[in-house]
Amino acid sequence: MTQPRALCAARPVGLTRGPVRSVPLLAARLFALTLAIVWAHCPAQAQTLQEQALEQTGLARQPAPGEWSVTLGGGIGSGPRFPGASTDRARFAPLIEILYGKTLFLGINGLGLDAINTDHFRAGPVLGYEGGRREDVDGHLTGLGDIHSSLTAGVFGNYHLGGFDAGATVRQSITHSGNGLTGLVHLDYRIPLRRERVFFSFGPDFEFANAEYNQRWFGVTPTQSFDSGLPVFTPRGGVKDVGLHGSATHFFSQHLLLRALVSFKDIVGDAANSPIVQDRTQVVVGVGLAYHF
């Protein structure tokens, strides 16, 4: 990961792709397109930070200084209707990664700046987008009200050595600050096959959150309890889930690639005891095509 890009695996090597030249108008259009897709996609279903990373990790080649590398695509995914749900729903899974030299990156996982960038370590600020939760998405949520989507701001760090990649990111909601703070820590191992046209990446991860975040997503206030019939519940902050994730990427050519991904999570801590949680085990799968230019 060379992600958040914080959460991204090492970039594919051994494939020659022509980078997109730095053109201000092109850059503005690409940024606008990406933000529009994120805005349209995220409110439909909240995603964990790890799920966002799997949709962005390793899609684009690292461009030369002053040049762009762009990968755009999409597919179909399936995951819980809401965090803790016992039923799944299909959704559009955008596959987006845009890089500018060794300075900027943009995708579903956020817009970030590599303020520190060495051979093995990267770190810097990142802006992201956190989807919300609609009360009408499932009957179990009736009476709990909606959780509004929010822009987030935070930092990321990533260390890469050989096939191993370790990273972390912390994000605070800023447009709806009551949504709280959440973060991700992950480890990945990357395996290239078939002359580096096929890449497998897998590893463990865990996400944590403060009390404000857990209260918003897993807590039940007295008013919500009266409206929903669920018991009052006030969770504390801490680790909220642990899991395993993996992805497989096949580069058919210099431009076309196929991405398949899977994530298994177990909700833990106070969040696991929430009356909102129907199933602690959360599984996300997806597959899609993307084009690099």
Number of helices (H), then strands (E), in the chain: 5, 14
Please list the residues that pair with 116 across neighbouring strands.
Answer: 123
| Token code pair at residue 213 | 């975040």
* Residue 273's pLDDT band (cuts 50, 70, 90): very high
Please list the residues that pair with 76 across neighbouring strands.
Answer: 92, 287
Read off the pLDDT of each residue in 263-278 and give the average, rounded to a whole number: 98
Read off the pLDDT of each residue in 178-201 and give the average, rounded to a whole number: 93
* pLDDT reported for residue 26: 53
* pLDDT reported for residue 57: 67
- What the chain holds in terms of domains, given with CATH numbers, is 20-292 (2.40.160.40)
* pLDDT reported for residue 56: 67
> What SS3 state is found at 250?
strand
* pLDDT reported for residue 37: 53
* pLDDT reported for residue 243: 97
Q: Quote helix, strand, coil % in the chain, to nearest 5.
A: 20, 45, 35
pLDDT > 70: percent of the chain: 81
Q: pLDDT tens digits for 28-59?
A: 455 555 555 555 554 445 667 777 776 666 77
* pLDDT reported for residue 140: 97
Which position has the token pair 């008013």? Answer: 223
Torsion of CA 246, 122, 49, 168, to 10 degrees: 90
Maximum mean pLDDT: which of 67-81, 184-198, 220-234: 220-234
Read off the pLDDT of each residue in 2-26 and give the average, rounded to a whole number: 41
Q: How many whole angstroms separate alpha carbon 73 and alpha carbon 55?
A: 10
* pLDDT reported for residue 183: 96
Q: How many whole angstroms separate alpha carbon 7 and alpha carbon 24?
A: 27
β strands within the chain, DSSP E: 20-21, 67-80, 88-100, 104-107, 110-113, 116-117, 121-130, 150-161, 164-173, 181-193, 198-209, 238-251, 256-267, 281-292
* Residue 171's pLDDT band (cuts 50, 70, 90): very high
Q: pLDDT tens digits for 112-156?
A: 999 999 999 999 999 999 999 999 999 999 999 999 999 999 999
Q: Is it the case that residue 22 has pLDDT exceeding 50?
A: no
Read off the pLDDT of each residue in 233-241 and give the average, rounded to a whole number: 97
- What are the C-alpha distances in Å from 114 to residues 34, 125, 181? 19, 8, 22
Q: pLDDT tens digits for 63-108?
A: 767 788 889 999 999 999 999 999 999 999 888 888 988 889 888 8
The answer to whether 1 touches 8, Cβ cutoff 8 Å, is yes
Mean pLDDT of the chain: 85
* pLDDT reported for residue 264: 96
* pLDDT reported for residue 34: 52
